[in-house]
Structure 1
Amino acid sequence: MRALANFIMRGRVQAVIMALLGSWVPLLSQGALGLVTLRKGWKEGLIITLWASLPAVAALWAGDVAKVMAVAGIEVMVVAYLSSVMLRYTVSWSAALAAIVALSSFAALVAVLLVEDISSQLVAFFQTMLESQAQNPPSAETALLTNWSTARAAGVIAMWISLTTFAGLALARWWQAMLFNPGGFRTEFHSLRLNASLATAALGGVVIAEFNGLEYGFWGLVFGMPLLVAGIGLIHCFVAAKKLGIWPLVAFYFGLVLIAPLGLLVSLLGFTDVWIDYRKRFNLVQPK
Protein backbone atom coordinates (compact mmCIF):
# COMPACT_ATOMS: atom_id res chain seq x y z
CA MET A 1 0.00 0.00 0.00
CA ARG A 2 2.89 2.35 0.69
CA ALA A 3 4.17 1.70 -2.83
CA LEU A 4 0.78 2.70 -4.28
CA ALA A 5 0.68 5.88 -2.21
CA ASN A 6 4.25 6.77 -3.20
CA PHE A 7 3.42 6.19 -6.87
CA ILE A 8 0.36 8.47 -6.69
CA MET A 9 2.38 11.26 -5.07
CA ARG A 10 5.20 11.11 -7.62
CA GLY A 11 3.29 13.37 -10.02
CA ARG A 12 0.07 14.19 -11.81
CA VAL A 13 0.53 11.55 -14.52
CA GLN A 14 0.98 8.80 -11.96
CA ALA A 15 -2.06 9.97 -9.98
CA VAL A 16 -4.17 10.03 -13.15
CA ILE A 17 -3.08 6.49 -14.01
CA MET A 18 -4.15 5.19 -10.61
CA ALA A 19 -7.42 7.13 -10.78
CA LEU A 20 -8.22 5.56 -14.15
CA LEU A 21 -7.30 2.09 -12.89
CA GLY A 22 -9.95 2.63 -10.24
CA SER A 23 -12.54 1.70 -12.88
CA TRP A 24 -11.45 -1.90 -12.27
CA VAL A 25 -10.13 -1.76 -8.69
CA PRO A 26 -12.69 -0.72 -6.03
CA LEU A 27 -11.87 2.45 -4.05
CA LEU A 28 -8.63 3.13 -5.93
CA SER A 29 -10.01 6.18 -7.74
CA GLN A 30 -11.47 7.67 -4.57
CA GLY A 31 -8.27 6.94 -2.68
CA ALA A 32 -6.08 8.51 -5.37
CA LEU A 33 -8.10 11.70 -5.82
CA GLY A 34 -8.54 11.94 -2.04
CA LEU A 35 -4.83 11.65 -1.37
CA VAL A 36 -3.97 14.29 -3.95
CA THR A 37 -6.66 16.65 -2.64
CA LEU A 38 -5.64 16.18 0.99
CA ARG A 39 -1.97 16.75 0.25
CA LYS A 40 -1.90 19.21 -2.66
CA GLY A 41 -5.18 21.10 -2.39
CA TRP A 42 -8.46 21.49 -4.25
CA LYS A 43 -7.06 22.59 -7.63
CA GLU A 44 -4.82 19.56 -8.14
CA GLY A 45 -7.49 17.29 -6.67
CA LEU A 46 -10.06 18.62 -9.14
CA ILE A 47 -7.85 17.66 -12.09
CA ILE A 48 -7.52 14.09 -10.83
CA THR A 49 -11.26 13.94 -10.14
CA LEU A 50 -12.08 14.93 -13.72
CA TRP A 51 -9.82 12.19 -15.03
CA ALA A 52 -11.27 9.66 -12.57
CA SER A 53 -14.77 10.51 -13.84
CA LEU A 54 -13.79 10.06 -17.48
CA PRO A 55 -14.59 6.29 -17.75
CA ALA A 56 -18.10 6.85 -16.37
CA VAL A 57 -18.62 9.83 -18.69
CA ALA A 58 -17.47 7.73 -21.66
CA ALA A 59 -19.77 4.88 -20.64
CA LEU A 60 -22.68 7.31 -20.35
CA TRP A 61 -21.96 8.77 -23.79
CA ALA A 62 -21.50 5.37 -25.44
CA GLY A 63 -24.40 3.71 -23.64
CA ASP A 64 -22.23 0.76 -22.60
CA VAL A 65 -23.84 0.49 -19.16
CA ALA A 66 -27.16 1.37 -17.60
CA LYS A 67 -27.55 5.13 -17.39
CA VAL A 68 -28.17 4.97 -13.65
CA MET A 69 -24.80 3.30 -13.03
CA ALA A 70 -22.91 5.76 -15.25
CA VAL A 71 -24.53 8.74 -13.51
CA ALA A 72 -23.85 7.26 -10.07
CA GLY A 73 -20.25 6.58 -11.10
CA ILE A 74 -19.73 10.23 -11.93
CA GLU A 75 -21.47 11.36 -8.77
CA VAL A 76 -19.38 9.21 -6.47
CA MET A 77 -16.20 10.85 -7.78
CA VAL A 78 -17.63 14.33 -7.25
CA VAL A 79 -18.81 13.51 -3.74
CA ALA A 80 -15.45 11.91 -2.89
CA TYR A 81 -13.64 15.03 -4.10
CA LEU A 82 -15.83 17.50 -2.22
CA SER A 83 -15.61 15.42 0.97
CA SER A 84 -11.82 15.37 0.64
CA VAL A 85 -11.83 19.15 0.29
CA MET A 86 -13.96 19.39 3.42
CA LEU A 87 -11.58 17.19 5.43
CA ARG A 88 -8.50 19.02 4.18
CA TYR A 89 -9.70 22.48 5.14
CA THR A 90 -11.60 21.66 8.33
CA VAL A 91 -9.40 18.80 9.60
CA SER A 92 -12.61 17.46 11.14
CA TRP A 93 -14.04 14.01 10.56
CA SER A 94 -17.38 15.22 11.92
CA ALA A 95 -17.52 17.84 9.17
CA ALA A 96 -16.39 15.32 6.55
CA LEU A 97 -19.02 12.76 7.61
CA ALA A 98 -21.73 15.42 7.55
CA ALA A 99 -20.61 16.41 4.05
CA ILE A 100 -20.65 12.78 2.88
CA VAL A 101 -24.22 12.25 4.07
CA ALA A 102 -25.52 15.55 2.69
CA LEU A 103 -23.74 15.25 -0.67
CA SER A 104 -24.66 11.58 -1.13
CA SER A 105 -28.31 12.36 -0.44
CA PHE A 106 -28.26 15.27 -2.87
CA ALA A 107 -26.51 13.15 -5.51
CA ALA A 108 -29.20 10.47 -5.21
CA LEU A 109 -31.93 13.06 -5.73
CA VAL A 110 -30.09 14.43 -8.78
CA ALA A 111 -29.85 10.89 -10.17
CA VAL A 112 -33.63 10.54 -9.81
CA LEU A 113 -34.09 13.70 -11.86
CA LEU A 114 -31.58 12.69 -14.56
CA VAL A 115 -32.52 9.03 -15.00
CA GLU A 116 -35.99 8.09 -16.18
CA ASP A 117 -37.56 5.10 -14.42
CA ILE A 118 -34.55 4.82 -12.16
CA SER A 119 -35.98 1.98 -10.06
CA SER A 120 -36.47 -0.28 -13.10
CA GLN A 121 -32.95 0.39 -14.34
CA LEU A 122 -31.45 -0.36 -10.95
CA VAL A 123 -33.46 -3.56 -10.53
CA ALA A 124 -32.44 -4.70 -14.02
CA PHE A 125 -28.79 -4.07 -13.16
CA PHE A 126 -28.97 -6.15 -9.97
CA GLN A 127 -30.89 -8.92 -11.73
CA THR A 128 -28.17 -9.11 -14.37
CA MET A 129 -25.55 -9.37 -11.63
CA LEU A 130 -27.43 -12.21 -9.91
CA GLU A 131 -27.90 -14.10 -13.16
CA SER A 132 -24.22 -13.77 -14.01
CA GLN A 133 -23.28 -15.30 -10.66
CA ALA A 134 -25.83 -18.12 -10.73
CA GLN A 135 -28.03 -19.57 -13.46
CA ASN A 136 -30.90 -19.95 -10.98
CA PRO A 137 -30.74 -17.14 -8.41
CA PRO A 138 -32.34 -17.94 -5.02
CA SER A 139 -36.01 -17.02 -4.94
CA ALA A 140 -35.49 -14.96 -1.78
CA GLU A 141 -32.94 -12.72 -3.52
CA THR A 142 -35.16 -12.45 -6.58
CA ALA A 143 -38.10 -11.40 -4.39
CA LEU A 144 -36.03 -8.53 -2.99
CA LEU A 145 -35.83 -7.06 -6.50
CA THR A 146 -39.57 -6.70 -7.04
CA ASN A 147 -41.78 -3.65 -6.67
CA TRP A 148 -39.02 -1.13 -6.03
CA SER A 149 -40.13 2.44 -5.50
CA THR A 150 -38.19 5.51 -6.51
CA ALA A 151 -37.48 6.22 -2.83
CA ARG A 152 -35.86 2.80 -2.36
CA ALA A 153 -33.78 3.13 -5.53
CA ALA A 154 -32.58 6.58 -4.47
CA GLY A 155 -31.74 5.21 -1.03
CA VAL A 156 -29.62 2.44 -2.55
CA ILE A 157 -27.70 4.98 -4.63
CA ALA A 158 -27.19 7.30 -1.66
CA MET A 159 -26.00 4.39 0.49
CA TRP A 160 -23.54 3.18 -2.16
CA ILE A 161 -22.11 6.65 -2.71
CA SER A 162 -21.79 7.38 1.03
CA LEU A 163 -20.13 4.06 1.91
CA THR A 164 -17.65 4.09 -0.97
CA THR A 165 -16.86 7.75 -0.36
CA PHE A 166 -16.12 7.18 3.31
CA ALA A 167 -14.03 4.08 2.57
CA GLY A 168 -12.08 5.93 -0.13
CA LEU A 169 -11.54 8.97 2.08
CA ALA A 170 -10.35 6.79 4.96
CA LEU A 171 -7.95 5.04 2.59
CA ALA A 172 -6.64 8.40 1.35
CA ARG A 173 -6.16 9.70 4.90
CA TRP A 174 -4.36 6.48 5.87
CA TRP A 175 -2.05 6.82 2.86
CA GLN A 176 -1.36 10.45 3.72
CA ALA A 177 -0.49 9.56 7.31
CA MET A 178 1.65 6.63 6.16
CA LEU A 179 3.76 8.91 3.97
CA PHE A 180 3.85 12.18 5.89
CA ASN A 181 2.52 11.67 9.44
CA PRO A 182 3.01 8.10 10.71
CA GLY A 183 0.30 7.16 13.18
CA GLY A 184 -1.72 10.27 12.42
CA PHE A 185 -4.72 8.49 10.93
CA ARG A 186 -4.82 6.04 13.83
CA THR A 187 -4.89 8.90 16.32
CA GLU A 188 -7.59 10.73 14.35
CA PHE A 189 -9.81 7.68 14.01
CA HIS A 190 -9.42 6.61 17.64
CA SER A 191 -10.40 10.09 18.83
CA LEU A 192 -13.31 10.50 16.38
CA ARG A 193 -16.24 11.93 18.33
CA LEU A 194 -19.24 13.63 16.75
CA ASN A 195 -20.53 17.01 17.78
CA ALA A 196 -24.00 17.21 19.30
CA SER A 197 -25.61 18.81 16.24
CA LEU A 198 -24.45 16.13 13.83
CA ALA A 199 -25.26 13.27 16.21
CA THR A 200 -28.77 14.60 16.83
CA ALA A 201 -29.41 15.21 13.13
CA ALA A 202 -28.17 11.72 12.27
CA LEU A 203 -30.40 10.08 14.85
CA GLY A 204 -33.33 12.19 13.69
CA GLY A 205 -32.78 11.05 10.11
CA VAL A 206 -32.65 7.41 11.16
CA VAL A 207 -35.88 7.71 13.17
CA ILE A 208 -37.73 9.45 10.34
CA ALA A 209 -36.58 6.79 7.86
CA GLU A 210 -37.68 3.99 10.19
CA PHE A 211 -41.14 5.51 10.67
CA ASN A 212 -41.60 5.67 6.90
CA GLY A 213 -41.23 1.92 6.48
CA LEU A 214 -39.07 -0.46 4.46
CA GLU A 215 -39.04 1.77 1.39
CA TYR A 216 -36.82 4.18 3.32
CA GLY A 217 -34.68 1.55 5.03
CA PHE A 218 -31.58 2.36 2.96
CA TRP A 219 -31.98 6.04 3.81
CA GLY A 220 -31.78 5.09 7.48
CA LEU A 221 -28.40 3.47 6.80
CA VAL A 222 -27.19 6.64 5.06
CA PHE A 223 -28.23 8.96 7.88
CA GLY A 224 -26.92 6.58 10.54
CA MET A 225 -23.47 6.21 8.99
CA PRO A 226 -21.79 8.97 11.09
CA LEU A 227 -23.06 7.30 14.29
CA LEU A 228 -21.77 3.91 13.16
CA VAL A 229 -18.37 5.28 12.14
CA ALA A 230 -18.01 7.12 15.45
CA GLY A 231 -18.90 3.94 17.32
CA ILE A 232 -16.36 1.93 15.33
CA GLY A 233 -13.70 4.53 16.14
CA LEU A 234 -14.55 4.17 19.83
CA ILE A 235 -14.24 0.37 19.64
CA HIS A 236 -10.83 0.70 17.97
CA CYS A 237 -9.75 3.14 20.68
CA PHE A 238 -10.84 0.74 23.44
CA VAL A 239 -9.04 -2.24 21.89
CA ALA A 240 -5.84 -0.21 21.42
CA ALA A 241 -5.96 1.29 24.92
CA LYS A 242 -6.40 -2.15 26.49
CA LYS A 243 -3.76 -3.66 24.18
CA LEU A 244 -6.07 -6.50 23.15
CA GLY A 245 -4.47 -7.07 19.77
CA ILE A 246 -6.04 -7.45 16.35
CA TRP A 247 -8.23 -10.53 16.85
CA PRO A 248 -10.98 -8.80 18.84
CA LEU A 249 -11.31 -6.36 15.93
CA VAL A 250 -11.48 -9.23 13.43
CA ALA A 251 -14.27 -10.83 15.47
CA PHE A 252 -15.97 -7.46 15.81
CA TYR A 253 -16.09 -6.86 12.05
CA PHE A 254 -17.39 -10.37 11.39
CA GLY A 255 -20.09 -9.74 13.97
CA LEU A 256 -20.90 -6.37 12.41
CA VAL A 257 -21.58 -8.08 9.09
CA LEU A 258 -23.40 -11.14 10.44
CA ILE A 259 -25.28 -9.80 13.48
CA ALA A 260 -27.60 -6.91 12.56
CA PRO A 261 -28.30 -5.69 16.15
CA LEU A 262 -24.57 -5.20 16.71
CA GLY A 263 -24.58 -2.32 14.22
CA LEU A 264 -27.38 -0.65 16.19
CA LEU A 265 -25.45 -1.07 19.43
CA VAL A 266 -22.29 0.42 17.93
CA SER A 267 -24.29 3.34 16.53
CA LEU A 268 -25.78 3.89 19.98
CA LEU A 269 -22.25 4.04 21.40
CA GLY A 270 -21.35 6.65 18.78
CA PHE A 271 -24.42 8.71 19.72
CA THR A 272 -24.09 8.56 23.51
CA ASP A 273 -20.34 9.24 23.35
CA VAL A 274 -21.20 12.84 22.46
CA TRP A 275 -22.45 13.43 26.00
CA ILE A 276 -20.80 10.69 28.05
CA ASP A 277 -17.28 10.89 26.52
CA TYR A 278 -16.29 7.27 27.13
CA ARG A 279 -12.61 7.93 26.45
CA LYS A 280 -12.37 10.39 29.31
CA ARG A 281 -14.71 8.50 31.61
CA PHE A 282 -12.86 5.18 31.26
CA ASN A 283 -9.37 6.66 30.80
CA LEU A 284 -8.87 5.24 27.33
CA VAL A 285 -5.44 6.77 26.91
CA GLN A 286 -3.70 6.09 23.63
CA PRO A 287 -0.80 3.65 24.12
CA LYS A 288 2.59 4.97 23.13
Structure 2
Amino acid sequence: MKALAEYVMRGRTEAVIAAALATGTVFFAWVGAAVIALVTLRKGSNQGSQVLLWAMLPAVVMAAMGDTGPVTTLLGVMLAAIVLRSTNSWSWALVAGVTSGLVTALVLLTFGRGYIEEILRLLSDALAQLQSQNSASTPLQLIQPTVLQVAGLLGLTNAFTVVMCLILARWWQAVLYNPGGFSAEFHGLRLPPALSIALLLVGLVLSALGSDYRLLAVILALPFMFAGFALVHGLAAKKQLGSNVLTMFYIIWLLFAPVKALLLIAAIIDSWINFRGRVATKG
Protein backbone atom coordinates (compact mmCIF):
# COMPACT_ATOMS: atom_id res chain seq x y z
CA MET A 1 0.00 0.00 0.00
CA LYS A 2 2.89 2.37 0.69
CA ALA A 3 4.20 1.75 -2.82
CA LEU A 4 0.84 2.80 -4.25
CA ALA A 5 0.86 6.01 -2.20
CA GLU A 6 4.39 6.80 -3.42
CA TYR A 7 3.29 6.24 -7.02
CA VAL A 8 0.26 8.51 -6.57
CA MET A 9 2.39 11.31 -5.14
CA ARG A 10 4.75 11.35 -8.12
CA GLY A 11 2.40 13.63 -10.01
CA ARG A 12 -1.13 14.35 -11.17
CA THR A 13 -0.96 11.92 -14.10
CA GLU A 14 -0.04 9.02 -11.83
CA ALA A 15 -2.79 9.98 -9.36
CA VAL A 16 -5.38 10.15 -12.14
CA ILE A 17 -4.34 6.75 -13.51
CA ALA A 18 -4.48 5.10 -10.08
CA ALA A 19 -7.81 6.68 -9.10
CA ALA A 20 -9.54 6.03 -12.42
CA LEU A 21 -8.37 2.43 -12.74
CA ALA A 22 -9.29 1.58 -9.16
CA THR A 23 -12.69 3.27 -9.41
CA GLY A 24 -13.50 1.35 -12.57
CA THR A 25 -13.26 -1.99 -10.77
CA VAL A 26 -16.01 -3.60 -8.75
CA PHE A 27 -14.02 -4.44 -5.62
CA PHE A 28 -11.40 -1.68 -5.45
CA ALA A 29 -13.38 1.51 -6.00
CA TRP A 30 -12.57 2.41 -2.38
CA VAL A 31 -8.89 2.58 -3.33
CA GLY A 32 -9.71 5.25 -5.91
CA ALA A 33 -11.55 7.22 -3.24
CA ALA A 34 -8.57 6.96 -0.88
CA VAL A 35 -6.25 8.18 -3.66
CA ILE A 36 -8.43 11.27 -4.14
CA ALA A 37 -8.42 11.90 -0.40
CA LEU A 38 -4.63 11.59 -0.24
CA VAL A 39 -4.12 14.09 -3.07
CA THR A 40 -6.60 16.49 -1.45
CA LEU A 41 -5.02 16.21 1.98
CA ARG A 42 -1.49 16.73 0.67
CA LYS A 43 -1.95 19.12 -2.27
CA GLY A 44 -5.30 20.80 -1.67
CA SER A 45 -8.79 20.75 -3.09
CA ASN A 46 -7.76 22.11 -6.49
CA GLN A 47 -5.47 19.17 -7.23
CA GLY A 48 -7.89 16.76 -5.59
CA SER A 49 -10.83 17.96 -7.68
CA GLN A 50 -8.86 17.40 -10.90
CA VAL A 51 -8.21 13.79 -9.92
CA LEU A 52 -11.84 13.46 -8.83
CA LEU A 53 -13.06 14.65 -12.24
CA TRP A 54 -11.28 11.84 -14.06
CA ALA A 55 -12.21 9.21 -11.48
CA MET A 56 -15.86 10.21 -11.82
CA LEU A 57 -15.92 9.04 -15.45
CA PRO A 58 -15.87 5.28 -14.67
CA ALA A 59 -17.98 5.96 -11.56
CA VAL A 60 -20.71 7.57 -13.68
CA VAL A 61 -20.61 4.62 -16.08
CA MET A 62 -21.06 2.25 -13.15
CA ALA A 63 -23.94 4.41 -11.87
CA ALA A 64 -25.61 4.16 -15.28
CA MET A 65 -25.33 0.38 -14.96
CA GLY A 66 -27.07 0.52 -11.57
CA ASP A 67 -24.25 0.84 -9.02
CA THR A 68 -24.28 4.33 -7.52
CA GLY A 69 -21.87 3.45 -4.72
CA PRO A 70 -18.63 4.69 -6.35
CA VAL A 71 -20.13 8.10 -7.21
CA THR A 72 -21.42 8.76 -3.69
CA THR A 73 -18.21 7.45 -2.12
CA LEU A 74 -15.95 9.65 -4.26
CA LEU A 75 -17.98 12.77 -3.53
CA GLY A 76 -18.24 11.96 0.18
CA VAL A 77 -14.51 11.31 0.53
CA MET A 78 -13.70 14.54 -1.28
CA LEU A 79 -15.92 16.47 1.15
CA ALA A 80 -14.42 14.77 4.20
CA ALA A 81 -10.84 15.32 2.98
CA ILE A 82 -11.48 19.02 2.40
CA VAL A 83 -12.94 19.33 5.90
CA LEU A 84 -10.03 17.49 7.52
CA ARG A 85 -7.44 19.53 5.63
CA SER A 86 -9.09 22.87 6.40
CA THR A 87 -9.97 22.23 10.06
CA ASN A 88 -7.35 19.61 11.02
CA SER A 89 -10.13 18.11 13.15
CA TRP A 90 -11.17 14.48 12.94
CA SER A 91 -14.40 15.33 14.75
CA TRP A 92 -15.58 17.54 11.91
CA ALA A 93 -14.26 15.09 9.33
CA LEU A 94 -16.48 12.43 10.93
CA VAL A 95 -19.41 14.85 10.72
CA ALA A 96 -18.64 15.22 7.01
CA GLY A 97 -18.83 11.43 6.70
CA VAL A 98 -22.18 11.43 8.49
CA THR A 99 -23.41 14.18 6.18
CA SER A 100 -22.35 12.13 3.16
CA GLY A 101 -24.32 9.14 4.42
CA LEU A 102 -27.46 11.10 5.18
CA VAL A 103 -27.36 12.92 1.84
CA THR A 104 -26.82 9.61 0.04
CA ALA A 105 -29.92 8.15 1.70
CA LEU A 106 -31.97 11.27 0.88
CA VAL A 107 -30.85 11.33 -2.76
CA LEU A 108 -31.67 7.64 -3.18
CA LEU A 109 -35.11 8.17 -1.69
CA THR A 110 -35.70 11.09 -4.04
CA PHE A 111 -34.11 9.97 -7.29
CA GLY A 112 -33.16 6.32 -6.82
CA ARG A 113 -36.46 4.61 -6.02
CA GLY A 114 -36.00 2.24 -8.95
CA TYR A 115 -32.58 1.19 -7.67
CA ILE A 116 -33.95 0.58 -4.17
CA GLU A 117 -36.95 -1.33 -5.51
CA GLU A 118 -34.62 -3.57 -7.52
CA ILE A 119 -32.69 -4.34 -4.31
CA LEU A 120 -35.97 -5.07 -2.54
CA ARG A 121 -37.00 -7.42 -5.36
CA LEU A 122 -33.74 -9.34 -5.06
CA LEU A 123 -34.12 -9.51 -1.28
CA SER A 124 -37.71 -10.69 -1.64
CA ASP A 125 -36.64 -13.49 -3.99
CA ALA A 126 -33.86 -14.52 -1.61
CA LEU A 127 -36.20 -14.54 1.39
CA ALA A 128 -38.79 -16.55 -0.52
CA GLN A 129 -36.14 -19.10 -1.43
CA LEU A 130 -35.02 -19.39 2.18
CA GLN A 131 -38.58 -19.90 3.35
CA SER A 132 -39.22 -22.55 0.72
CA GLN A 133 -36.08 -24.45 1.71
CA ASN A 134 -36.98 -24.33 5.38
CA SER A 135 -38.92 -27.26 6.79
CA ALA A 136 -42.54 -26.75 7.81
CA SER A 137 -41.76 -27.79 11.39
CA THR A 138 -39.43 -24.84 11.93
CA PRO A 139 -40.84 -21.96 9.89
CA LEU A 140 -38.74 -18.85 9.46
CA GLN A 141 -40.21 -15.46 10.31
CA LEU A 142 -38.38 -13.23 7.85
CA ILE A 143 -39.30 -9.55 7.68
CA GLN A 144 -39.16 -7.74 4.36
CA PRO A 145 -37.25 -4.43 4.73
CA THR A 146 -38.86 -1.18 3.64
CA VAL A 147 -37.65 1.37 1.10
CA LEU A 148 -36.55 3.73 3.87
CA GLN A 149 -34.63 0.99 5.65
CA VAL A 150 -32.74 0.06 2.48
CA ALA A 151 -31.93 3.73 1.85
CA GLY A 152 -30.70 4.03 5.43
CA LEU A 153 -28.52 0.94 5.03
CA LEU A 154 -26.98 2.30 1.83
CA GLY A 155 -26.39 5.64 3.52
CA LEU A 156 -24.74 3.90 6.48
CA THR A 157 -22.52 1.91 4.12
CA ASN A 158 -21.53 5.10 2.35
CA ALA A 159 -20.67 6.94 5.57
CA PHE A 160 -18.59 4.04 6.89
CA THR A 161 -16.74 3.63 3.59
CA VAL A 162 -16.02 7.36 3.39
CA VAL A 163 -14.50 7.41 6.87
CA MET A 164 -12.43 4.29 6.26
CA CYS A 165 -11.08 5.68 2.96
CA LEU A 166 -10.19 8.93 4.72
CA ILE A 167 -8.38 7.00 7.47
CA LEU A 168 -6.40 5.09 4.84
CA ALA A 169 -5.48 8.32 3.03
CA ARG A 170 -4.39 10.00 6.27
CA TRP A 171 -2.29 6.96 7.17
CA TRP A 172 -0.66 7.09 3.72
CA GLN A 173 0.10 10.76 4.23
CA ALA A 174 1.70 10.08 7.61
CA VAL A 175 3.76 7.16 6.31
CA LEU A 176 5.16 9.27 3.48
CA TYR A 177 5.62 12.64 5.19
CA ASN A 178 5.09 12.33 8.95
CA PRO A 179 5.98 8.87 10.31
CA GLY A 180 4.09 8.15 13.51
CA GLY A 181 1.87 11.19 13.06
CA PHE A 182 -1.28 9.24 12.31
CA SER A 183 -1.12 7.25 15.54
CA ALA A 184 -0.72 10.37 17.64
CA GLU A 185 -3.55 12.08 15.77
CA PHE A 186 -5.93 9.13 16.02
CA HIS A 187 -5.15 8.48 19.69
CA GLY A 188 -6.17 12.04 20.45
CA LEU A 189 -9.54 11.88 18.68
CA ARG A 190 -12.27 13.00 21.08
CA LEU A 191 -15.64 14.54 20.18
CA PRO A 192 -16.33 18.05 21.58
CA PRO A 193 -19.12 17.99 24.21
CA ALA A 194 -21.47 20.23 22.19
CA LEU A 195 -21.07 18.10 19.06
CA SER A 196 -21.56 14.93 21.07
CA ILE A 197 -24.83 16.19 22.52
CA ALA A 198 -26.07 17.40 19.13
CA LEU A 199 -25.40 14.04 17.45
CA LEU A 200 -26.98 12.19 20.35
CA LEU A 201 -30.16 14.29 20.33
CA VAL A 202 -30.68 14.03 16.58
CA GLY A 203 -30.07 10.29 16.71
CA LEU A 204 -32.61 9.85 19.51
CA VAL A 205 -35.20 11.87 17.58
CA LEU A 206 -34.74 9.71 14.48
CA SER A 207 -34.98 6.52 16.55
CA ALA A 208 -38.19 7.76 18.13
CA LEU A 209 -39.78 8.11 14.69
CA GLY A 210 -39.92 4.33 14.30
CA SER A 211 -37.97 1.34 13.06
CA ASP A 212 -37.79 2.70 9.51
CA TYR A 213 -35.60 5.58 10.72
CA ARG A 214 -33.27 3.66 13.01
CA LEU A 215 -30.65 2.94 10.37
CA LEU A 216 -30.48 6.67 9.73
CA ALA A 217 -29.92 7.11 13.46
CA VAL A 218 -27.09 4.56 13.31
CA ILE A 219 -25.32 6.82 10.78
CA LEU A 220 -25.19 9.49 13.49
CA ALA A 221 -23.58 6.94 15.83
CA LEU A 222 -20.54 6.46 13.57
CA PRO A 223 -18.56 9.37 15.10
CA PHE A 224 -19.05 7.81 18.54
CA MET A 225 -17.90 4.44 17.23
CA PHE A 226 -14.66 5.82 15.79
CA ALA A 227 -14.13 8.02 18.85
CA GLY A 228 -14.54 4.87 20.94
CA PHE A 229 -11.93 3.07 18.85
CA ALA A 230 -9.60 6.03 19.32
CA LEU A 231 -10.22 5.92 23.07
CA VAL A 232 -9.30 2.24 23.26
CA HIS A 233 -6.18 2.71 21.12
CA GLY A 234 -5.14 5.79 23.10
CA LEU A 235 -5.50 4.06 26.47
CA ALA A 236 -3.71 0.98 25.17
CA ALA A 237 -0.81 3.16 24.01
CA LYS A 238 -0.58 4.98 27.36
CA LYS A 239 -0.65 1.67 29.23
CA GLN A 240 1.84 0.19 26.74
CA LEU A 241 -0.40 -2.74 25.96
CA GLY A 242 0.48 -4.97 23.03
CA SER A 243 -1.34 -5.43 19.75
CA ASN A 244 -2.77 -8.72 21.03
CA VAL A 245 -4.97 -6.78 23.45
CA LEU A 246 -6.35 -4.64 20.63
CA THR A 247 -6.96 -7.71 18.48
CA MET A 248 -8.89 -9.34 21.32
CA PHE A 249 -10.89 -6.15 21.82
CA TYR A 250 -12.00 -6.06 18.18
CA ILE A 251 -12.96 -9.74 18.26
CA ILE A 252 -15.10 -9.15 21.36
CA TRP A 253 -16.56 -5.99 19.81
CA LEU A 254 -17.60 -7.87 16.69
CA LEU A 255 -19.15 -10.80 18.57
CA PHE A 256 -21.05 -9.10 21.40
CA ALA A 257 -23.63 -6.37 20.88
CA PRO A 258 -23.45 -5.07 24.49
CA VAL A 259 -19.78 -4.23 23.94
CA LYS A 260 -20.77 -2.03 21.00
CA ALA A 261 -23.24 -0.17 23.20
CA LEU A 262 -20.69 0.21 26.01
CA LEU A 263 -18.14 1.62 23.56
CA LEU A 264 -20.63 4.25 22.36
CA ILE A 265 -21.45 5.21 25.94
CA ALA A 266 -17.75 5.43 26.80
CA ALA A 267 -17.16 7.74 23.80
CA ILE A 268 -20.01 10.00 24.90
CA ILE A 269 -18.71 10.20 28.47
CA ASP A 270 -15.14 10.70 27.22
CA SER A 271 -16.20 13.84 25.38
CA TRP A 272 -16.82 15.38 28.83
CA ILE A 273 -14.36 13.59 31.11
CA ASN A 274 -11.34 12.90 28.82
CA PHE A 275 -10.18 9.54 30.12
CA ARG A 276 -6.86 9.71 28.25
CA GLY A 277 -6.02 13.06 29.79
CA ARG A 278 -6.67 11.71 33.27
CA VAL A 279 -4.48 8.69 32.63
CA ALA A 280 -1.72 10.96 31.35
CA THR A 281 -2.01 13.18 34.44
CA LYS A 282 -1.76 10.23 36.79
CA GLY A 283 1.19 8.90 34.86
Q: Give me the whole-angstrom Cα distance separating, in 1, the residues matched to 2:87 and 2:122.
A: 38
2:40 to 31, 37, 41: 37
1:12 aligns to what? Answer: 12
Q: Which runs of 5+ in 1 are unaligned?
A: none
Give the greater-gyration-radius structure (CA). Answer: 2
The reply to whether residue 234 of structure 1 matches residue 237 of structure 2 is no
Give the direction of change, closer, same or farther, for the CA distance of 1:7–1:209 in structure 2 (3 Å limit): same
The one-character-per-residue Cα deviations of 1:88-135 (angstroms, maximum 9, x if unpaired) are 11100011111111232122212221123453223245578x79xxx9
2:207 aligns to what? Answer: 210
The reply to whether residue 157 of structure 1 matches residue 154 of structure 2 is yes
Give the direction of change, closer, same or farther, for the CA distance of 1:192–1:10 in structure 2 (3 Å limit): same
2:246 to 234, 244, 249: 249
The answer on whether the counterparts of 2:30 and 2:73 sit within 8 Å (CA) in structure 1 is no
1:169 aligns to what? Answer: 166
The answer on whether the counterparts of 2:190 and 2:271 sit within 8 Å (CA) in structure 1 is yes
Quote how far apart the aligned CAs of 1:205 are.
2.7
Give the superposed CA RMSD: 2.5
Amino acid at match of 2:31: L
Give the direction of change, closer, same or farther, for the CA distance of 1:253–1:124 in structure 2 (3 Å limit): farther
The reply to whether residue 47 of structure 1 matches residue 50 of structure 2 is yes
Quote how far apart the aligned CAs of 1:157 are.
1.7
The reply to whether residue 190 of structure 1 matches residue 187 of structure 2 is yes
Quote how far apart the aligned CAs of 1:149 are.
2.3
Q: Give me the whole-angstrom Cα distance separating, in 2, the residues matched to 1:141 and 1:190.
A: 45
Q: Give me the whole-angstrom Cα distance separating, in 2, the residues matched to 1:18 and 1:142.
A: 46
Identify the range of structure 1 (162-171 vs 266-275) with the bigger mean alpha-carbon deviation.
Answer: 266-275
Q: Which runs of 5+ in 2 are unaligned?
A: none
2:76 to 52, 76, 79: 79
The reply to whether residue 122 of structure 1 matches residue 119 of structure 2 is yes
Give the direction of change, closer, same or farther, for the CA distance of 1:127–1:257 in structure 2 (3 Å limit): farther
Q: Give me the whole-angstrom Cα distance separating, in 2, the residues matched to 1:189 and 1:262.
A: 21
TM-score by length of 2: 0.88
Q: Give me the whole-angstrom Cα distance separating, in 2, the residues matched to 1:98 and 1:165.
A: 11
Q: Give me the whole-angstrom Cα distance separating, in 2, the residues matched to 1:93 and 1:42.
A: 17
Q: Give me the whole-angstrom Cα distance separating, in 2, the residues matched to 1:32 and 1:141.
A: 44
Q: How many residues align?
A: 274
The one-character-per-residue Cα deviations of 1:46-99 (angstroms, maximum 9, x if unpaired) are 1222222222211334xx3x3xx32x3311210110110010111000111111
Q: List, as ranges, runs of 4+ consecutive aligned residues in structure 1 with deviation greater than 4 Å.
A: 125-128, 135-142
**3-state SS of paired residue (1:5):** helix
Amino acid at match of 2:6: N
The answer on whether the counterparts of 2:108 and 2:116 sit within 8 Å (CA) in structure 1 is no
Q: Give me the whole-angstrom Cα distance separating, in 2, the residues matched to 1:49 and 1:285.
A: 47
